[in-house]
């Protein structure tokens, strides 16, 4: 079998002109507008970081990390950071403090340390608040060292093994024994161990 290529001169019937290139957007520095005076969100005597904005019921709600300046940086956020909510009429502010959305908890709880990096979304008619917590700091370190994963299967594995590690640490359980019991249950047809806490 032979393959014959026919090259047609530009402009001949059957040939199409290449599409015009889309104009390049202006550089970011040329698209920035002046910041409004007294805009944004600040609180006296506090560091305020990691803002996440969402609009609801005609208002702009800003969720942010906050911790006292007296506790220092970066040491302070590791034990004293909380998630606060502030409200404004416009995305650029000024925002007024509304409440502490998630405050410091019992050090033995999942939310007991360093509530940080909030992200708020609307899903299924409800609002879901995500945040980072000091108890899963090892996840950040792991991702930095290993460069994460590039497959859906890899992501599922990481989610599950990290959940097991963090939960077992909170409950004072052995990760190895949990995984061993899980493997025995899988191949032996028994009931898998649970990560849900037992007792009060």
Q: How is the chain split among helix, strand and coil, in percent rounded to 5?
A: 30, 25, 45
The Cα–Cα gap between 106 and 103 comes to 10
CA angle centred on 121, ends 124 and 154, rounded to 5° = 90
Higher pLDDT, 2 or 189: 189
pTM passes above 0.75 = no
The tens digit of pLDDT for each residue in 127-182 reads 888 876 656 666 666 766 777 777 888 888 888 888 888 788 777 889 999 999 99
Q: Domain residues of the chain, as ranges?
A: 38-136, 149-195
Query: Distance of CA 191 to CAs 137, 176, 182, 184, 186, Å?
Result: 31, 17, 8, 9, 8
DSSP state of 19: P
Mean pLDDT of the chain, nearest integer? 80
């Amino acid at each position: 079998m032979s393959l014959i290529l026919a090259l047609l001169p530009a402009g001949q019937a059957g040939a199409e002109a290449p599409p015009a290139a889309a104009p390049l957007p202006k550089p970011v520095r040329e698209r920035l507008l002046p910041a409004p005076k007294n805009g944004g969100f600040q609180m006296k005597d506090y560091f305020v970081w990691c803002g996440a904005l969402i609009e609801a019921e005609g208002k702009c709600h800003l969720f942010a990390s906050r911790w006292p300046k007296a506790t220092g940086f970066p040491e302070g956020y590791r034990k004293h950071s909380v998630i606060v909510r502030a409200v404004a009429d416009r995305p650029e502010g000024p925002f007024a403090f509304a409440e502490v959305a998630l405050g410091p908890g019992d050090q033995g709880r999942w939310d007991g340390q360093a509530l940080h990096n909030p992200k708020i979304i609307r899903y299924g008619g409800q609002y879901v608040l995500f945040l980072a917590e000091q108890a899963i700091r090892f996840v950040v370190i792991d991702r930095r060292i290993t460069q994460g994963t590039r497959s859906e299967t890899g992501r599922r594995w990481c989610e599950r093994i990290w959940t097991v590690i963090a939960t077992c640490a909170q409950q004072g359980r052995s990760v190895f024994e949990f995984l061993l019991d899980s493997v025995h249950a899988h191949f032996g047809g028994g009931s898998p161990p649970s990560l849900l806490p037992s007792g009060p």
